[in-house]
Structure 1
Amino acid sequence: MATVKDLLAQKGTEVWVTQPDAVIRDALGIMRDKNIGAIPVVKDDQVVGIFSERDFARHAIDDDCFDMNMRVDSLMIHPVYFVDPSQTVEECMAVMTTKKLRHLPVLDEGKLIGIVSIGDVVKHLMQEKEETIELLEHFLWANMI
């Protein structure tokens, strides 16, 4: 079974972060520029939260006078659920589904080494299924001849 480490090897381990005292406008700017949907919030090399487009949208829609200069820690989700690189992709998907999360930081011995999204997981699982189908097709054709 494929692991989160395998998933990161495919997608890369580059992670952009923000700090708890950063303003929401700046965090959203990073997310826009890097084309990412969520950003880990880090303080003293520890992941203390995660901030996503979804968190922003939920609060902005409820507040007519939403202040883009609010601190990220006012909207970030915490505590943070995370996965370990040795966990299977299926375990990662289970955490995301159970906790209704779209992004999970990957921590190795407490150090942030990547982040996986539900899109990364689905893409990987689809590739696995396609490979299985191809193998079965080859097996069937080989046995028909």
Structure 2
Amino acid sequence: MGKVRNILQAKGNVVFSVEPTVTVYKAIELMSHKNIGGLIITDHRGEKLLGIFTERDYARRVILKGKSSKDTPIGEIMTENPVTVTPDSSIEDCMKIMTNRKIRHLPVIDEGKLVGMISIGDVVRFVIEEQRTIIEDLEHYITGHHQ
């Protein structure tokens, strides 16, 4: 099975992040504009991972608690110390973490530095592509059409 670095090579290392002082409204606006389900919260230099903010956080920590999106800083409702993986983490381990913890996003840290983020969608796409390749290889082997 593949590694996180394989997913990052395919999708790139772009990480959308904001500082903890940004309002929830601005964060949701960015997420909508970029069509993403989670944002990384970093320090003002964008180097230190402080937390993660997802659509689920919005639903549970803003809407259900009656907070104002335009007045609440994201640092107040983000998930602090999120679970992270490294580029060498296996896709299988990522699936276990996501399933057991019921989370959909994993920041990727390499030598203390944020280098990417993977989502459950990224993992599913990778597994489907990997299985498709294995099936094609087996079909070629069975039919004698070796490459």
Instruction: Tell whether 2:137 aligns with 1:135.
Output: yes
Choose which of 82, 103, 121 in structure 2 pairs with 1:119: 121
* Alpha-carbon offset, residue 118 of structure 1: 0.3
**What is the match of residue 66 of structure 1?**
67
Amino acid at match of 1:66: K
Whole-angstrom distance in 2 between the partners of 1:88 and 1:66: 38
Alignment partners' CA distance in 2, 1:133 and 1:123: 15
Q: In 2, distance between residues paired with 1:42 and 1:70?
A: 17
Tell me how far apart the structure 2 counterparts of residues 48 and 9 of structure 1 sit (CA, whole Å): 25
Cα deviation per residue 1:18-58 (whole Å; 9 max; x = unaligned)? 11111101111111111110000101521111001111012
Amino acid at match of 1:75: I
Give TM-score scaled by structure 1 length. Answer: 0.91
**1:68-124: per-residue Cα shift (whole Å, max 9, x none)?**
120101211122110000111111111111211100000111111100000000100
CA distance in 2, matches of 1:59, 1:104: 20
- Check whether the contact 2:62–2:77 (CA below 8 A) recurs between aligned residues: no
The TM-score with structure 2 as length reference comes to: 0.90
| Identity in percent | 38
Question: Could you tell me how far apart the structure 1 residues matched to 2:63 and 2:68 are?
Answer: 12
Query: Across the two proteins, how many residue pairs are aligned to each other?
Result: 142
Mapped partners of 1:89, 1:34: distance in 2? 25
Q: Secondary structure at the match of 2:79?
A: coil
Structure 2 residue runs of 5 or longer lacking an equivalent are none
Instruction: Give the equivalent residue in structure 2 for 1:27.
Output: 27
Let me know the Cα RMSD of the aligned residues.
Answer: 1.5
Take 1:128 and 1:76, find their aligned partners in 2: how far apart are those partners? 34
Quote the offset at 1:61 in angstroms.
3.9
1:109 maps to what in 2? 111
Gaps of at least 5 residues in structure 1 are: none
Aligned to 1:42: 42
